Structure 1
Amino acid sequence: MAIRLVAFLTGFGLSILGGVSCIMYLNLLAAGFTIREYIQFILERTECYLLVAGFLMMTVSIYFPTRQ
């Protein structure tokens, strides 16, 4: 139980970091990037993958069956 809670909270933190990074890079649209260039830029940034990793970690911690 405690391991699942720690995994969930770690995943939540990672998803926050990744989400903030993606939102921060939205300023590139105001600088003249197109949506296509923005998405390509996001896919090249490592810190934006934390959003996906965090969601995956939270999903696994919620839905993975525990040993009883």
Structure 2
Amino acid sequence: MALRLVAFLIGFGLSILGGVSCIMYLNLLTAGFTVQEYFQFVFERTECYLLAAGVFMMTAALYFPTRQ
């Protein structure tokens, strides 16, 4: 139980970090980037993958069955 809670909280933190990074990079659109260039840039950045990793960890912590 405690391990699942820790995994969920770590996943939540990772998803916040990744989401904030992706939102921060939205300023590139006002600097003249096209939407295609924005997505290409975001997919090249490592910190934006934290969003996907965090969502995966939270999902695994919620739906992975426990041994009882």
Under a length normalisation based on structure 1, what TM-score does the superposition of the two structures give? 1.00
Q: Which residue of 2 aligns with 1:16?
A: 16
SS of residue in 2 equivalent to 1:32 = coil
Q: Does residue 47 of structure 1 match 2:19? A: no
Q: Distance in 2 between matches of 1:16 and 1:22?
A: 10
The Cα RMSD (Å) is: 0.2
Which letter maps to 1:65? Answer: P
Q: Which structure 2 segments of 5+ residues have no match? A: none
Q: Distance in 2 between matches of 1:23 and 1:40?
A: 15
Q: Does residue 6 of structure 1 match 2:29? A: no
Q: Does residue 56 of structure 1 match 2:56? A: yes
The number of residue pairs the alignment matches comes to 68
Q: Distance in 2 between matches of 1:64 and 1:27?
A: 37
SS of residue in 2 equivalent to 1:47 = coil
Under a length normalisation based on structure 2, what TM-score does the superposition of the two structures give? 1.00
Q: Distance in 2 between matches of 1:67 and 1:3?
A: 12
Which letter maps to 1:48? Answer: C
Identity, % of aligned pairs? 79
Q: Distance in 2 between matches of 1:11 and 1:19?
A: 12
Q: Which residue of 2 aligns with 1:66?
A: 66
